[in-house]
Structure formats: structure tokens, C-alpha cells
Amino acid sequence: MKSTKTSVENSVELNTIVSTPQGTAPEASVLSEKRKISTIITSSAIDILAFFTAGLYYPALIPLAQTLHVSKVNINLTITSYMLAQGLTPLVTGNLSDQYGRRPVLLICLLISVGVNVGLACQTNFAALAALRCVQSFGSSGVISVTGGIIVDVITRSERGKYLAYTSIGATIGTSLGPVLGGVLTQFLGWRSIFGFLAILASILLIVVIVFQPETCRVVVGNGSVPPQPWNRPLLPPHRPGDPDVETRATFSRRPKILDSVKLLLDKQMGQLILFISVVGWGSTAVIASIPMLMEEKYYLNTLKIGLCYLPFAAGGITARWTVGFLADWNFRRHSHQLGMKVERNRQSKAQLSRMPLEKVRLQIALPAIYYSSLFLLGYGWSLASNTHLSVPLIMLFFLGNGIAGVENTAGALIMDLQVYRAGMARAAVLLCRFIPGAGVIVAVPYLIQSIGIGWLGTIIAGLWVASSLMLWVVYFKGHKWRGQSNKA
């Protein structure tokens, strides 16, 4: 596989973390601890909107099909169209946010979300539903690559685990509690209420961003000490201590392009990481999307109870903060001590990080987590196939949610570690590879369950996860060497 990492990374002059023998690296972010946490929580809340947009929709599939007089297979095509747009949109929003700032892109996406959800609440036919779902995806999924960039802007690599509870809450709650809330709204207020709720939520988040959210893009504000353009400031801007440190701003030696995200897939290290995390995402998408059909057919649950079946998956993901998060930070400190390096809070030196085997630091957590997840996926699939008591697959979902959160957060952290100044571009590459094929997964899942059963489908997915882990082992042993060769090129 041809390596393109050098050309992509060299488009950024890394001015911000150069450490000299006479002094330490500058602060990674001048934001106070409280403002940093509030910024991350706001970003995660925006992520909740993005994942709610998909999650709230699942329990409404059957009522929507009945109202619009279409088959279950056809109504699933609205998920497919949404996911296609979900994969393509971040190519635009991620790269724009890397160049011009996070806040402008967030504001545009949230404005679109408000308008399109009002339209979806009012539509009356299948064609309008499918078309507006594509536009809805632009407004909601467009923010995912941007919020990922914000988190990388303000958190150092050594502290990723500490903030895992805040950074992962959007995806965890949005993916898992979205169907619960969708079930409640659909059961008691009808399917149109889910779009009304999303319009209100997007409006609230739009106001929060206008009033509170600071610009964090390092091209614009460096480590936060450089004031952004007057039009790009919140109504209540953060306190910026001291003089602006313009040396912390990242600059591009060439203009970034949308296709940089696609080129990243051809890099021998990044390509394998992105493909692995996408395979995990395809499997988790298959599990989540199949829950309504399986729970209705096997346990005769109504829309509300089907939504509640997502709670164990959500709880498992949230508890990853106390398992994966703790282990991730501990492992970073352990490797630092082995290399004789001191881990300083809110500081990261380029020279130190080039010595740190980031690949081993992250993958020593991700590899056990993927095998752990595969075992519980097998348990989930065959417990459903065997028609066991409902509690058994729900317990499996709890541990599956915990394992998947561990895999995606640690492998995803490594991807962000390696592309810290083009975080939006890297996140866009992940979403492109995850959601475009994921749209096909959504279409295929009902047919596969009917033809081979959920037990064998779970076995196939678990087998793919284990097989794809071979790519992690390659990165584990060769990644640090590849990174050193790329930096010298």
C-alpha cells in the first residue's frame, strides 16, 4: 500500500509543540480546566444531536412505513440514504473546519438541522422523507468531524483517558439512548414528534454555540491565546491570560484539499487503522439497526420496550470511562516512565512524542477489547437464536457496548494522535470509510437474518472483527518505525 502520509502531514508546519533544551513546550491550551470541560461537554452535546438524528429514527421505522404505505425494506432505504450522506458530508465540513475554524462550520450545520427537521415533521410522502433525510444528514453528521477536531485541539495525548467520560458521552448516549427516547416519543406523541424534538434540540445547541463555544482551531487561535476574528467570537468569550502566542498557530504550507481525506486511506499505517475501526463500526451498526426487528419478532415488544432494550448497550459504553479511560492514561504514563520522560499536565513536546510508541500505548488497550467484544457478540447472537430469556441478550449487549466503546475510543485516539493538526480531515476519512459501506450493511442485515439467522450473522461479524485485528498487530509492531520514516521524509 502506497504511503501518502508524508504529503498530507507536511502540509502543516508544526510550530506549536517544539521544545527547546532551555525551556518546556508551551501550554497545549490556555483554556481553564472548567472552560475546557465545558467546551468538551458542548461538543459532546452536539454529537448527541448527530447520533440522536439516527437513533431516534429506528423505533419510528414501522409506524413510518405504515403511515406512508411502504414496505419495511423500502423504509430501510431512508437509513441507507442518510448513511451515504453521513459518509460524504464530513469530507467537506472536516476540511473546512481545519482551515477556517470550528465555530463557523458548527453554526452552519446547526442552522441546517433546525430547518430540515421542521420540514421532516411536516412531510407527507416517502420521496420527501428520503430526500430530506439526506439533507438532515448534512446538518447533523457534518458536525461529527468538527467536534472531534475540537476535542483534539484542547486535550493532550496523555490526558485522553481522563476526559473519556466527556468525549465519548455524545456517541454513547446518542447511539444508545436515542432509540429509547425515540420509542417514547413515537409511542405517545407519534413519529412526527421526533423531528420536532430534534429541531428544538438543534435550536438550543445553536444558541449555546453562539453564546459560549470558543474557537479552538489551531490554525486560527493557536493554543487559544490568539484571539479569533471578531465575527468568530462567542458572546461570552473565554479569558485569555497573557499576550497572544502566535508561534503556537499551525500554518499550512499548501492549501488543504477535500481529497486529502481520501488519500489518507492509502497510507500504510492510517489506512489499516481506519479500515479496522470501520469494520468494527459496520458490525456495531448491524447490531443496533437489527434490534427493533429482532425484539419485535422474538419477544413481541412494543415500540417503547424496544427502545428500552438499547439501555444496556448505553450503560456499557458509559462505564468504559472507568475501565478503558483509566487504563489508557495509566498505560501512557507507564510507557513515559519506561522512556525516562516526564508527563506534564497540559503540555506535549514534539520531541518527546516522536519517541513515544503511541501505537503500542493505544493498541495494548484496543486489542484485548476487540477480542472481548467478539466473545460477547457471539453470546448475543446465539442467545437470540436460541430464544433464551430476554435478560440474556440484554446482558450481552451491556458488555458488548463496553467493549466496542473501548475499541473505538482507543483506536480512534491513535488516529487523532497521528493527525493532530488535521483532526477534521482524519475524522472525515474515518466517517467516509465507516458510513458508505455501512449503508449497504443496513440494507443487507434484514436479508441475512432471514436467510442464515442472527446466530450465524453474529458469528460472521465476530470473525471479521478478529480477522481485522491482524491489521492492528501490523501497526503495533511496525507503526512507530513507519512514523519515524515519514517524519524524516
The tens digit of pLDDT for each residue in 95-118 reads 888 888 999 999 999 999 999 999
User: How many angstroms separate the CA atoms of 65 and 71, rounded?
Assistant: 6
Provide the pLDDT for residue 439.
76
pLDDT tier at 358 (50, 70, 90 boundaries)?
A: confident
- Calculate helix-pair angle for 61-68, 72-100, nearest 10 degrees: 120
pLDDT category at 273 given cuts 50, 70, 90 is very high
DSSP per position, 1-52: ----HHHHHTTEE--TT---TTSPPPBS--S-HHHHHHHHHHHHHHHHHHHH
CA-based nearest residue to 355, from 337, 339, 331: 339
Q: With pLDDT > 70 as the criterion, what percentage of the chain qualifies? A: 87
**Distances 418 to 105, 144, 336, 359, 396 between C-alpha atoms, Å:** 23, 18, 17, 9, 33
For the ranges 15-29, 284-298, 466-480, the lowest mean pLDDT is seen at 15-29
Close Cβ partners of 387 (under 8 Å, ≥ 6 residues apart):
298
Hunting for cell 453528521 — which residue is that? 141
Q: Is the pLDDT of residue 14 over 50?
A: no
Give the count of beta carbons closer than 10 Å to the beta carbon of residue 176.
25
Cell 484496543 appears where? 366
Residue 173 reports pLDDT greater than 80: no
Cα–Cα distance for residue pair 195/185, rounded to 1 Å = 10
Compute the average pLDDT of residues 242-254: 73
Please tell me which residue, 31 or 28, carries the higher pLDDT value.
31
Tally Cβ neighbours within 10 Å of residue 111: 14
Instruction: pLDDT band for 448, please (50, 70, 90 cuts).
Output: very high
pLDDT in the model for residue 468: 96
Indicate the average pLDDT of the chain: 83
Separation of alpha carbons 99 and 435, rounded Å? 24
The average pLDDT across 235-254 equals 75
Answer yes or no: is pLDDT of 398 > 90: yes
pLDDT band at 6 (very low <50, low <70, confident <90, very high): very low
Q: How many Cα atoms within 13 Å fall on the side-chain side of residue 103?
A: 24
**Helices and strands (H, E) in the chain, number of each type:** 21, 2
Mean pLDDT, residues 175-190: 83
Count of beta carbons in the 10 Å neighbourhood of residue 326: 14
Domains of the chain by start residue, with CATH: 29-232 (1.20.1250.20), 257-488 (1.20.1250.20)
Tell me if 212 sits within 8 A of 42, measured CB to CB: yes
Lowest-pLDDT range, 20-29, 62-71, 444-453?
20-29
Enter the DSSP assignment of 322: I
Confidence of residue 59 (pLDDT cuts 50, 70, 90): confident
Q: Which pLDDT does position 348 carry in this prediction? A: 59
- Assign 385 a pLDDT band (cuts: 50, 70, 90): very high
Residue 372: pLDDT above 90? yes
The length of the chain is: 489
Cα dist from 330 to 32, 196, 350, 407, whole Å: 23, 44, 20, 16
Residues 6+ apart with CB under 8 A from 23: none
Q: What is the pLDDT of residue 347?
A: 59
Contact partners, residue 305, CB within 8 Å, separation at least 6: 183, 295
Quote the CA–CA distance of 471 and 202 in Å, as a whole number. Answer: 38
- Higher-scoring residue by pLDDT: 318, 205: 205
Q: DSSP assignment, residue 60?
A: G
Instruction: Kindly report which listed range (57-61, 123-127, 216-220, 410-414) carries the lowest average pLDDT score.
Output: 57-61
Query: What pLDDT score was predicted for residue 391?
Result: 93
| Residue carrying the nine cell digits 491513535 | 414
HSE on the CB side for 178, CA within 13 Å? 28
**pLDDT tens-digit map of 32-49:** 888 888 888 888 889 888
Judged against a pLDDT cut of 90, whether residue 302 lies above it is answered with no
